[in-house]
Amino acid sequence: MSVYPTSFNTDNSANAVCDEMGHTGTLTMDQIPYAKNFDDTDNKNSLLMDCPDGCGEVTSTHPVGGGSHPATVQEMFVRKEVSLGVPPQQAIDDVKARVEATDGPGRWQVDEEKLLQELG
Amino acid sequence: MPTLNDVLAGSLAQAVQVQQIIDALKGTPNKGVPVALVSLNDPNNYALTVQNDDPTNSKALSVLKADGTPLVVADATGVTLGAPVNLPANSINGGTAVADGSITNAKLGPDVARANLLVNPGFEWWQRGNGPYTANNAIGPDMWKMQLAGSDTYSLSRDTANVDTGSGACAAVSFTLGTGAGATVLYQGNLGDMVGSLNGVTVSLSMRVRTSVANAVRIGINNYYSSTSHFTYSGYHSGSGAYQTLTVTATLSPAPTVLQWGVFFAASCTAYLDNACLVVGSQAATYVPLHPADDLARCLRYYEAMALAGFPFAGQCTSTTQAFYPYLFKVRKAVTPTMTASAPSTWQGMAANGAGVAATAVTAALGSVSLDGGAMQITTASGLVAGNASVLAPQAGASLVAEGNP
């Protein structure tokens, strides 16, 4: 019952669903920030998603491993890095390494070839 | 054997007494057992063969104990042994000695209870709600996910009116076939933490299914390796309208990288799914209910709506406007979970004087959440004191959910 991405658009924005409220909508990568550490720095292993229709009722914190929806959440981390200027292959390698570091080597579920094609 | 009367010395033998002897020797029916000795010490056959010629019976042998009760009886109904029966040590009744550890899985009947490897096998737990669920990839009953193919559609709900024997709830699926061609599946799997332990193992899946449409529902096992699915299916439900047990067996070799077990839908129908069982071995096993505590514990490994009654977490204020509250899960998660929190208006932090301070923002997982827990942070307009302790005070509608799916 989380807020999660179902698919992505060419500008890297995420089409999102809020299970709890039954709401849907689109969130830009600017609207999906990294969570904060205790020292207020960005935690690149966590992304925040508010209910996409702006109701403010539900917020999900996704781990880089994917949490509730591994394939799309992992892809969201890659697209987040790309939106910040990281080259696609480097973003994939970086996120994949962090996925496997937190949840093990079998956790990576992104179709890398397909994603690379989409990211150009 | 008829009763023979002694003839007293000096008495004349009566005809009836002589006839008694003749009857016994002839084996006259009802006056003795007609027995024909077929062979005795026959080197090519048996030491003793006796045939009963009575056309209405096949009473071959009766050996009685001193009290007249049977010790060994062999007749048309089989061989009956009296008590006690002395069999070789480490054997079981049945006539064949069975050594310890010699009963194979293939000899087991389905009613021999065995360890069920599924999560929520009886469809008893619906932590996310009773449905109806209609979305692709939605999880309705705990750990059972519907994956749609083509233009297929479905509606899935918890059902207590059409359950199988020994069940509190089942999954009711109203399925409409589009272009899916039988590939739509309600499945459990992607279990990375079970892949290694089942490499090369033969497993059997069973499930109770009820539908009135023939060739609409079957179950299957997917041994995914070399980036390709390899499905093994059961036969289809006959469409009898009654619960039937569908079974399928597969050997997980070559070593899988993904395992999936599921229910496949190939024709529009309403189907009721209940009481599934996944066991190691070539023989499927009948579902045996798990104790509710064990059943729920398995579900909590993937989804946990945290109990928020009273003051669930104690924490510390880090400024006049922020406090954080560490929490632990009841069950270690299979993977790092997504943490989802309700709106800030549903949370308060307790100030030093016991007054509730309303949150204006909430973070379900400050920093990184782990398999075992995390820390929640609230932000307030004011009212907190850095360094003070604080307890979290959930308000109406508050929820904090951990969800980590394979």
Domain ranges of chain B: 145-299, 303-403
In 3D space, the residue among B88, B105, B108, B86 whose CA is nearest the CA of residue B97 turns out to be B88
From the list A36, A65, A106, which residue is nearest B257 (CB)? A106
A92 burial (CB, 10 Å; 0-12 / 13-18 / 19+) is buried
Average predicted confidence (pLDDT) for chain B: 87
Taking only the tens place, the pLDDT of each residue in B93-152 is: 555 566 667 778 887 888 888 899 999 999 999 999 999 999 888 899 999 999 999 999
Interface probe for A, chosen from B304, B318, B338 (most Cβ of A below 10 Å), is: B338
Which residues, in sequence order, are CB contacts of A46 under 8 Å at separation 6+?
Answer: A34, A35, A61, A62, A63, A64, B365, B367, B368, B369
pLDDT tens digits along A54-88: 787 889 999 999 999 999 999 999 999 999 999 99
- Cβ-defined contact of A43 to B368 (cutoff 8 Å): yes
Contact B380, B319 (CB under 8 A): no
Distance from CA of B339 to the nearest CA of A (A): 5
Task: Confirm or reject contact between A102 and chain B (CB < 8 A).
Answer: yes
Quick check: B1 pLDDT over 50?
A: no
Lowest mean pLDDT among A76-85, B17-26, B96-105, B225-234: B96-105
pLDDT score, position B23: 76
Owning domain of residue A70: 3-112
Tell me the shortest Cα–Cα distance from B148 to chain A, in angstroms: 14
- Architecture in CATH of B145-299: Sandwich (2.60)
| CB-based contact, A22 to chain B, within 8 Å | no
pTM confidence score: 0.81
* A51 assigned to some structural domain: yes
Residues in B whose CB is inside 8 Å of some CB of A read 128-129, 135, 137-138, 192, 195, 257, 318, 324, 335-344, 362-369, 399, 401, 403-406
A25-44: b (≥16 Cβ within 10 Å) or e: bbbebebbebbbeeeeeebb
Nearest residue, CB atoms, B365 vs list A17, A61, A103: A61
Q: Give the pairing type, strands B400-403 and B338-342.
A: antiparallel
Residue A120 covered by a domain: no
Q: Is residue A82 part of a domain?
A: yes
Helix residue ranges, H only, chain A: 70-83, 88-103, 112-119
Mean pLDDT within B367-383: 93
Residues of A in contact with B406 (CB under 8 A): 70
pLDDT for position A6: 92
DSSP state of A101: H
Q: Does residue A80 form part of some domain? A: yes
Give this complex's ipTM.
0.95
Task: Give the tens place of pLDDT for each residue, B167-181.
Answer: 999 999 999 999 999
Maximum Cα–Cα distance across chain B: 132
A–B interface: beta-carbon pairs under 8 A: 107
Please report, in angstroms and rounded to a whole number, the separation of the first and last CA atoms in chain B: 78
* Mean pLDDT, rounded, for B312-338: 95
What is the per-residue pLDDT for B403? 96
Residues B217-231 have a mean pLDDT of 91
Q: How many domains does chain A have?
A: 1
Work out the average pLDDT over B258-269: 94
A104/B192 Cβ within 8 A: yes
- What integer is the mean pLDDT of A78-100? 95
pLDDT of residue B130: 95
